[in-house]
Structure formats: C-alpha cells, structure tokens
Amino acid sequence: MVQFRSARPEDIPAMVALSDRVFRKPYQTSMGEAYSLLFSEENAGNMLVAEESGQIVTVVGLLPSEIHIAGCTLRVLSMGSVCTDADHRGKDYAGSLVRMAIEKCEREDVHLLLVSGNRTLYRRNGCYEAGLIRQFTLTAEQARQAAGHGASLAETMDYVEARDLEPMLRIASSGPARYVRTKAQFARLIRGAAVCSNGAMTQRIAVRRSGEETLAYVVYGLPSDHEPGRTPFVIEYAGADQAVLELLRDVMEQHRLERLRVSAGGERSALGEALASSGAALRCEPIPGTIRVTDLTSVWQSLVPYIQEQLGVETAAQLSCTRHGDGQYRIACGEEWITLDARGVLTLLFGGAPWHAGDTLGPLLAKLFPLPFVNPNNLNYV
C-alpha cells in the first residue's frame, strides 16, 4: 500500500540516498551536501514523498522562497530532485506528488511554482517554458573587447568568505530581479555549489574590488578531471555592468579559457548589448525549467505597486484582472479585454502583451510586460 505524504526530518537520510542513487555518480557530491537547504530538517515538512512497505520510493523536493521583481515580492516554491526508485517506476507516484505540490501552492497562496525541468510530467500539470534569456558564448578576445580598454583602479580577487560574503549579499540584493536570501542561506548556497555538482565541475568565485568597496562578483564553473570536456559557464553574477564585464575578462585570462558561457536576462540589457557587440555567439532560450502560475489574480495584486508606478494610479485603477472558470483569466480595461489560459498567462508575464490585446489595453500591457525575472539556474537552483 502506497502512502503519499509530507516528509519528516527522520526521512532525510533515505531521501538523500534515493536522490543520490538516481542522480549521482560515485565521484559527485552527495545531493544532501550540494542541496543542503533543500535536504534540511527545517525544510523537511515542505518535501513530499511516496512510501511503500516502509520504504521511501519517490521524492519531490520543494523549497519555499521569495523573489523580488520590479520592486514587488512574489512567493515561490522551487521543485527539484524529483525521482522514483527504479523498481517502482511507471506507477505515477511522481505525478501524484506533483499534483500535491500544486495543491500546496494553492493552499499556501504561493504565486509561482518553479520547476527545474521540462518533462511531460510537468507540462501535463500546467508547468510550461516561458520568457527568453540570452545565452552568450564568449572567446577571450571577445571578453576583452566587451570589457573595453579604459584604465581601471579596481582589482579582481578570489572570493574570501570573511571579507566578501556580506558585500556580495548587498550587491545581489539590489538587482531588479532577485531571490531573497539571508546571510546564512547565501553562505550555504555558495558552499553547496549545487549547479556545479550536477556536472562534476569546480565552482569558483571572483570579486571586483576598488579599495574597500566591492563592485561586482561572478560565480562560475570550471571542468574537473572527471568530465574535462564541459564548457566553463557563469552561474551567477551581480554588480555594475562594467565591473562584471571586467570580471569575465579576468576570469578567462586567469584560467586561459577558450570560451565561457554567460546568460543575460532582460534586466541586464546593457550588459547583454556589450556582449553582443563583442561578437559573442548568441542563442535565445526560454527561462530555464518550467513555471506554473498558481493564481494570476494574486500575482496581479502583488504587482499593484509596480503597475501604479508604470502607469500612474488613475490609469492602473482602470485595469482589472479576474478569474473565469478553471484556469481562465480576464484582463480588462473599459470595453477591451483578453482571456488567458495557463500558457497565455506565462506569455503575458514573461514574454509581453499579445498582439490582439486592443488599441487601449494593448499599449498599457506593453508598458508592464514582460517582467524582469530571475535565472533559476543560479545559486538557488533546486
């Protein structure tokens, strides 16, 4: 008899063991170490498991957090480490737990479910790819060109936690789209090196400093002896555009890298333009993973300060967002309105206003969307 339930702290060793069997090779860091916030006693009650004959056979990892977008706060639930023991696959245990996770989002007024995958399992439960993020692949010469040739008194240094953790957290907390992190959480995310652990890569951090002031930082992954053919890539960065560009140049020179992958969302348009102007190879991709909006009306209410700032209080008051039927929403202004399903909601929020929105409603929505958004494949990756 199978039981679907929330996990308990005493389940963590079995959950980690199952995740390691499914996702890890012997030379890779244990999931429990790499994802220490996820597999922690304080988070156990958010995780979901299927238990059969006293054995945990399926895990759905869930980690609640908040993100700031355009000055507004949204509650999110990140989903990852979704796995089933090989002897129990084909029974839809993961599907049952994913549906429980969606019910949890609705019950706890979570705005967004962020899933680190795009399997059919997620799409058939209303999780879809959305938005666009620009992926650049730089050569060393292109990195030098993007950084420019002006003189700078700043220096690039390797990360030292005692010196750099707090100023890095301050820099990360000033971005237009960011995860909310405490100092303790930030330190654990850095130490866990979750993204690099997935590819048996080595995580490094470089900071750009001018005197006692930290200007920017870059977290990046380098190939290890276990998988030497992987392309080095940037996991996360924050700070002034020019300082970030100088860090990319210095990182490539320090490690003598032939190429380096770095992403730029819409909120870093100036940095993206500098990378594009250097001639770096560019590929536009959806925001990593898939997203499910729990209730657009709740998201809309949380975005009211942003909507009022962009449109003015009087004009913002003319817009309405209401729910119609199962998963259908109507956004209206006067006599003009559009109806959106789950995919349409994501397209509006992270892709922009649909072309058929109307002569009055369309321009208003175009001023609001797409929203800047976090890159889920950063240190907060689950």
From 63, 88, 123, the end of a domain falls on 123
Please check whether residue 171 lies inside any domain of the structure. Answer: yes
Instruction: Name the 3-class secondary structure at 65.
Output: strand
- 341, 236: one domain: no
- Residues 281 and 144 reside in one and the same domain: yes
Q: Residue 139 above 80 pLDDT?
A: yes
Residue 188: give the domain boundaries. 133-285
Residues 6+ away with beta carbon under 8 Å from 216 = 171, 207, 208, 237, 238, 239, 240, 243, 244, 246, 247
Residue 43 gets which letter from DSSP?
G
Residues 219 and 355 in one domain: no
Position 336 in a domain: yes
Same domain, 142 and 280: yes
What pLDDT, on a 0 to 100 scale, did the predictor assign at position 193?
97
Quote the DSSP letter at residue 357: S
Sheet with 319-323, side-by-side order of all strands: 319-323, 329-333, 336-340
Clarify whether residues 140 and 235 are in a common domain.
yes
Q: Mark whether 174 and 309 lie in a shared domain.
A: no
What pLDDT, in 10s, does the model give residues 263-272? 998 788 899 9
128 three-state secondary structure? strand
Contacts of 363 (CB under 8 A, 6+ apart): none
pLDDT-derived band at 226 (thresholds 50, 70, 90) equals confident
Instruction: Report the number of distinct structural domains present in the chain.
Output: 3
Per-residue model confidence (pLDDT) at position 326: 76
Same domain, 229 and 278: yes
The answer to whether residue 98 is domain-embedded is yes
Q: What is the DSSP annotation of 274-294?
A: HHHHTT-EEEEEPSSSEEEES
Average pLDDT over residues 49-57: 97
Q: Give the model's pLDDT for residue 4.
A: 98
CATH number at residue 225: 3.40.630.30
Report the relative pairing of strands 319-323 and 290-293 from DSSP bridges: unpaired
* Residue 355: per-residue pLDDT: 73
Structure tokens at 197: 């652990």
| Whether pLDDT at 51 is above 90 | yes
Residues 351 and 264 in one domain: no
Query: In this structure, are 141 and 256 located in the same domain?
Result: yes
Domain boundary among 257, 285, 313: 285
Using the structure block, give the residue that is written with the tokens 């199978």. Answer: 2
Alpha-carbon span 257 to 207, nearest angstrom: 18
Q: Are residues 14 and 107 in the same domain?
A: yes
Specify the higher pLDDT residue, 305 or 327.
305
Question: Alpha-carbon distance 90 to 18, whole Å?
Answer: 17
Domain presence at residue 290: no
What are the backbone angles phi and psi of residue 347, rounded to the nearest 5°?
-60, -45
Q: Counting beta carbons within 10 angstroms of the beta carbon of residue 255, is it exposed (0 to 12), middle (13 to 18) or buried (19 or more)?
A: middle
Share of the chain above pLDDT 70, in %: 100
Q: Residue 100 falls within a domain, yes or no?
A: yes
Domain identity same for 101 and 229:
no
pLDDT at 150: 73
0.85 surpassed by pTM: yes
Q: Where are the alpha helices (DSSP H) in the chain?
A: 12-23, 31-34, 93-107, 120-123, 140-147, 161-172, 183-192, 194-198, 241-255, 269-277, 296-302, 304-311, 313-317, 342-351, 361-368
Residue 109 placed within a domain: yes
Same domain, 142 and 91: no
Is 358 contained in some domain?
yes
